[in-house]
Chains A and B, each alone.
Chain A
Amino acid sequence: GENVEQHPSTLSVQEGDSAVIKCTYSDSASNYFPWYKQELGKRPQLIIDIRSNVGEKKDQRIAVTLNKTAKHFSLHITETQPEDSAVYFCAASSAGANFGNEKLTFGTGTRLTIIP
Chain B
Amino acid sequence: KAGVTQTPRYLIKTRGQQVTLSCSPISGHRSVSWYQQTPGQGLQFLFEYFSETQRNKGNFPGRFSGRQFSNSRSEMNVSTLELGDSALYLCASSLKTDAGELFFGEGSRLTVL
Contacts and interface: CB of A to CB of B under 8 A. Distances in A.
B6 to A, nearest CB: 9
A43 B105 contact: yes
Interface of B: 4, 31, 33, 35, 40-45, 48, 50, 55-56, 58-59, 90, 92, 94, 96-102, 104-107
A99 B48 CA distance: 11
Interface in A38-92: 42-46, 49, 89, 91
Which applies to chain A's interface (DSSP): helix, strand, loop or mixed?
A: loop
Contacts, number: 80
A89 B42 contact: yes
A45 B59 CA distance: 24
Contacts of A98: 97
Nearest to B35: A106
Nearest to B40: A108
Contacts of A108: 40-42
